[in-house]
Amino acid sequence: MTSNPFDEFRARYENDWLLLCREVLNITPDPEQADVLLDIQRGERRISIRSGHGRGKTTTLAVAIVCQTLVRFPQRTVATAPTSAQLFDVLAADTKALFRSLPQAWQDVFEIKSESITHRASPEKSYVVFKTSRSETPEAMAGVHMDEGWVLLIGDEASGIPEAVFTAGHGSMSGKNCTTVLAGNPVRTAGLFYDTHHTLARGSRTDGGGWKTYHWSCFKTEGVLHPRITQDFVDEAGERYGIGTNDYLVRVLGEFPRAEADAIISYELLQAALHREVACANVRPIWGVDPARMGADRSALAKRKGNHLLENVKTWKDLDLMQLVGRIKHEWDTSPTDRRPELICVDSIGMGAGVVDRLNELGLPVRGVNVSETSALSSDQYLNLKVELYYRAEQWFRERQCTLNGDARLAAQLGWAHRDYTSSGKMKVKDTGKYSPDRGEAFLMTFADMAAAAIYGTSGGTTSWKHPLQREIKCIV
């Protein structure tokens, strides 16, 4: 009787996924990755991994998906992430690349599509599905239950997955051979992913149940980097975010952020907006400019269109006044008509006044903003307009319908701002004195149009940018 090579394959590797990695996938997992793969192989039901950047968590998830699919039948695997970029450009892409590296006989067994990988002969009994997690459509992990067979649920960048997705998918874990694996940078101090490392963690329960947790730092031991991580990455992270900041804790050390009661814009709000996918509002953009005043500083240009930061904030170093004007004019000239701003708000303190005058001569819709002057609307609450703009930005983030489109440096700089109070009880921005928030302050300028609109129109006045503001306090000139 002729033997079945697929049965022989499964017999060899079903209970030795690490051997499958070495002999079939040509991968040698590091010890931490191996521990997770062995947990899934043995049937551990709930696994949660908090990790710094570059530690190979997504690769681990992709390898787990391939191992499950090759050696278990019937089986259903569902993988999800909060953004399509993370899910399809990273996790799904890594998974498909591993499938395409298999021997041709195995490649012929599966059909690879844009959002799924299915067993050609039995697509309903063995498949991998990739579904983006959205709060308005929380079914990403739902309906995967199997009475006989195996279920594997994967949540990548799990801090960002809406809680409704986990609630809807709870029933998929009702079978006897089910595993859920959550992994990601620990950016939020609330939600299921956070709870799996705290109140729901195995060590915190008296019944021996709960989630088995892993913590993957970029350091193998104190002062010694993990072999996957370069010193350049850690040094750059320290320079970009600041050692000891929440961004450094999350991205390098794989730790949850500290609660900062005096942060004007919370770390959680900033991280939630970093890669959020929302439709762009149908409004004209507003540009904000923060001219450099010292040699170490950079001039910055932010472009916001309603609820979208259109692109990463642009910065330039060592530009004189006319050179900066030339860069802004070039941005205007090369922007499509629908991306040209309704207003360009420029911090007019120092050399900014000259930038305003020259852009005005060139016919651009520019207005100077003096952030040190009295708040436009809440002079009894805020020390100056700068504080008001921070709180206008905070409200923008709080509504949770906005996106920074991946500008991590901007998010980090906005997170540096902390509130303080004058002796009269007015809020002010605490000066850290360590970093120059050029990107953040250019972004704040995109909210200065709201202060202008509050002065105009309320008494029938014009909103034309060509007319100066008329009011008793000098905030925007």
Same domain, 307 and 409: yes
> Per-residue pLDDT for 63 more than 90?
yes
pLDDT tens for 299-330 read 999 999 999 999 999 999 989 999 999 999 99
Q: Determine contact, residues 289/264, Cβ cutoff 8 Å.
A: no
Structure tokens at 158: 């799990």
pLDDT of residue 245: 86
pLDDT of residue 284: 94
Binned at pLDDT 50, 70 and 90, residue 468 comes out as very low
Binned at pLDDT 50, 70 and 90, residue 218 comes out as very high
Q: Is residue 473 part of a domain?
A: no
CA distance 309 to 336: 16
Average pLDDT of span 177-183: 95
- 62, 142, 216, 460 from 186: Cα distances, Å: 20, 24, 11, 50
pLDDT of residue 427: 87
Average pLDDT of span 400-423: 90
CATH of the domain at 306: 3.30.420.240
Query: Residue 230: which domain range?
Result: 221-253
Q: Is residue 349 part of a domain?
A: yes
Q: Is residue 470 part of a domain?
A: no
- Report which residue type is found at 128: V
Q: Is residue 462 part of a domain?
A: no
Give percent of the chain with pLDDT exceeding 90. 65
Tell me which of 253, 275, 300 is where a domain ends. Answer: 253
pLDDT of residue 172: 83
Q: Which of 73, 74, 53, 65 is nearest to 25 (CA)?
A: 65
pLDDT tens for 251-307 read 999 999 987 778 899 998 999 999 898 999 999 999 999 998 656 689 999 999 999
Binned at pLDDT 50, 70 and 90, residue 465 comes out as very low
Which segments of 24-145 are extended strands (E)?
46-51, 75-81, 110-112, 116-119, 126-132
Same domain, 403 and 426: yes
Same domain, 84 and 185: yes
pLDDT of residue 198: 93
Same domain, 40 and 178: yes
Q: Which of 329, 360, 332, 355 is nearest to 464 (CA)?
A: 360
> Per-residue pLDDT for 239 more than 90?
no
pLDDT of residue 454: 41
Q: Is residue 258 part of a domain?
A: no
pLDDT of residue 19: 97
Q: Determine contact, residues 188/158, Cβ cutoff 8 Å.
A: no
CATH of the domain at 203: 3.40.50.300
pLDDT tens for 426-458 read 888 886 655 678 999 999 999 998 654 443 333
CA distance 365 to 466: 7
Q: Which stretch of 291-305, 325-339, 353-367 has the lowest confidence by average pLDDT?
A: 291-305
Q: Which stretch of 50-54, 93-97, 145-149 has the lowest confidence by average pLDDT?
A: 145-149
Same domain, 102 and 211: yes
Higher pLDDT, 258 or 79: 79
Find all residues with CB under 8 Å of 1, minimum gap 6, and list them. Answer: none
> Per-residue pLDDT for 472 more than 60?
no
Same domain, 329 and 245: no
Output DSSP code: residue 279.
Answer: P
Same domain, 84 and 125: yes
Task: State how many domains the chain has.
Answer: 3
Q: Determine contact, residues 54/254, Cβ cutoff 8 Å.
A: no
pLDDT tens for 10-30 read 999 999 999 999 999 999 999
Q: Determine contact, residues 441/290, Cβ cutoff 8 Å.
A: yes
pLDDT of residue 335: 96
Q: Is residue 315 part of a domain?
A: yes
Q: Is residue 262 part of a domain?
A: no
Same domain, 118 and 156: yes
Higher pLDDT, 137 or 336: 336
Give percent of the chain with pLDDT exceeding 70. 90
Same domain, 238 and 273: no
Q: Is residue 177 part of a domain?
A: yes
Q: Determine contact, residues 125/73, Cβ cutoff 8 Å.
A: yes
Same domain, 24 and 142: yes
pLDDT of residue 457: 34
What does pLDDT average to over the chain? 88
The full length of the chain comes to 477
Q: Determine contact, residues 124/146, Cβ cutoff 8 Å.
A: no
Higher pLDDT, 170 or 344: 344
pLDDT of residue 460: 32
Same domain, 318 and 286: yes
Same domain, 112 and 36: yes
Binned at pLDDT 50, 70 and 90, residue 58 comes out as very high
pLDDT of residue 477: 31
